[in-house]
Amino acid sequence: MKKRSTGRVQRDFMRLWGAQAISSFGARIAREGLPMTAVITLKAGPEAIGVFAALALGARAVVGLFAGALADHLPKRRLLIAADIARALVLAAIPLAALAGRLSLLEIYLAAVLMGAANVTFDVADHAFLPNLIEADGLTDGNARLAATEAVAEVGGPALAGLLFQLVSPPIAVAVNAATYVASAALLGRIGVGGAPPAGETRPRFRLDLTAGAWLVLAHPLVRPLWLGDVIRGFFGAFFAALYILLAIDILKLTPGMLGLTIAMGGAGGLVGAAVAPWLTRRLGPGPTILGAGLIGGAALFLIPLAAGPPLIAMTVLAVAQLIGDALQTIAQIGAATLRQTVLPPGQLGRAGGAFATGAAAAGVAGALVGGALGAAIGPRETLLIAAAGVTAASLLVAFSPLARRDNVVGRTDRA
């Protein structure tokens, strides 16, 4: 295969990075905007928000493994562009429904399903595409840069969402995302590498591909504990998806602007985590880094249900939880993503990513429904305390696996 020039490789990665930055920034508005639209405009309660989160995660669960098969069998760049265009169309429909006076929870739920499907397709293809652009020894730094993009978006996106929601109606604020996805697709279209499947690959055979993805992650001793931990975090983390905004707005009395700034602190933490992750992983090894960051980051979640007092005090406690928790979770996520890209065959990264997405999302469907029901039955605070304990415990799986050993650093020798 013809070797590409260093300059072209750098330009292609920068275009991917730029597309990530644009779409990630807009995605934060959609992530907060759809449930905030339901709470503020449609007066949705805990059960309704739990159903919303369950539908979004359910779409990820159903589509995840299929998306993994598509990413391994089709040109990845085209798949990324298609997912961006789909997301733009879905979000553009929200303000149109509102202007026509037809916006209801049904439209919000449908948007949750379609956005969940498009999001998981983009995420799976994106992680499988990165090794096509950079060499193995640059994967940690590449993943860290992409995580830094997510962190910057986490700072600016929710803050902008909060501001927009105070200046204009929530449905109109959601529409801002459509333009970001179009811009992302345009940048992806300029990348010179298509991410074609390895020679000899045929069209997707979904029944075999679904089995292959699940077997791939469960059979590998270093990847299996990461997958199991993701499943547990998916279940308990969905409690937060169902109840966090409700806790902040209805119980702690934060304004949309205050909530946006609070969530933005998580982005600041993620930016710090992305900067520290490559150094920390090289110093401690991937397994211990994933373990330590996961445990401490999970423990920081306890601050969320413990927040109380006047809105400004409560906001400060939530902001600290976001700052510390997101920093450490970003470190763990970068280590886990790089390890998967390093130890698994390049032609199977899509199916492996699909297995991860589907496992966490399927657990999240149950978690969102259980979290919403528990929130209504025993209260959001008590439910979120249970969630924080579950997320923290998920990281213990790494402690009882080969990943816990510092010297268990594996380089991939089968790169194409």
Residue 65 has which token pair?
């493994």
Domain assignment of residue 141, yes or no? yes
Residue type, position 34, single letter: L
We report the CATH number of the domain holding residue 78 as 1.20.1250.20
CA 11 – CA 17 distance, rounded (Å): 10
pLDDT tens across the length of the chain (416 residues)? 444 556 666 778 888 878 877 877 777 777 777 777 777 777 777 677 777 777 877 777 777 767 777 777 778 888 899 999 999 998 888 888 878 877 788 888 888 889 888 888 888 888 778 777 776 667 777 777 777 777 677 666 666 766 776 676 666 777 777 888 888 898 888 887 655 555 445 555 555 556 666 777 887 888 888 888 889 998 998 888 778 888 888 889 988 778 878 877 887 888 888 888 888 888 888 888 888 898 999 899 999 999 988 999 999 999 999 999 989 988 988 888 888 878 887 777 777 777 787 788 788 878 888 888 888 888 889 999 999 999 998 888 888 888 776 555 444 434 33
Q: How many residues does the chain have?
A: 416
Quick check: is 62 in a domain?
Answer: yes
Contact 289, 396 (CB under 8 A): no
Q: Give whole-number Cα distances, 409 to 18, 229, 334, in Å.
A: 31, 19, 15
User: Buried b / exposed e across 328-351, counting CB within 10 Å, b at 16+?
Assistant: bbbbbbbbbbbbbbbbbebbbbbb
One-letter identity of residue 285: G
Question: The whole model's pTM is what?
Answer: 0.65
Q: CA–CA separation, 23 vs 18, rounded Å?
A: 9
Residue 345: inside a domain? yes
Q: Is 163 exposed, middle or buried (0-12, 13-18, 19+ CB in 10 A)?
A: middle
Considering the domain boundaries, does residue 398 fall inside one?
Answer: yes
Total number of domains constituting the chain: 1
Asked, for residue 7, whether it belongs to a domain, the answer is no
Query: Within a domain: residue 2?
Result: no
The Cα angle at residue 167 between residues 164 and 169, in degrees rounded to 5: 80
Q: How far apart are CA 268 and CA 137, in angstroms?
A: 27
Q: Which parts of 97-141 are beta strand (E)?
A: none
> Is residue 412 assigned to a domain?
no
Q: Is 336 among the domain residues?
A: yes
Q: Residue 115 — φ and ψ, nearest 5°?
A: -65, -40
CB 218 within 8 A of CB 70: no
Which residues constitute the domain of residue 342?
12-192+202-404
The first and second tokens of residue 210, run together, are: 């679904």
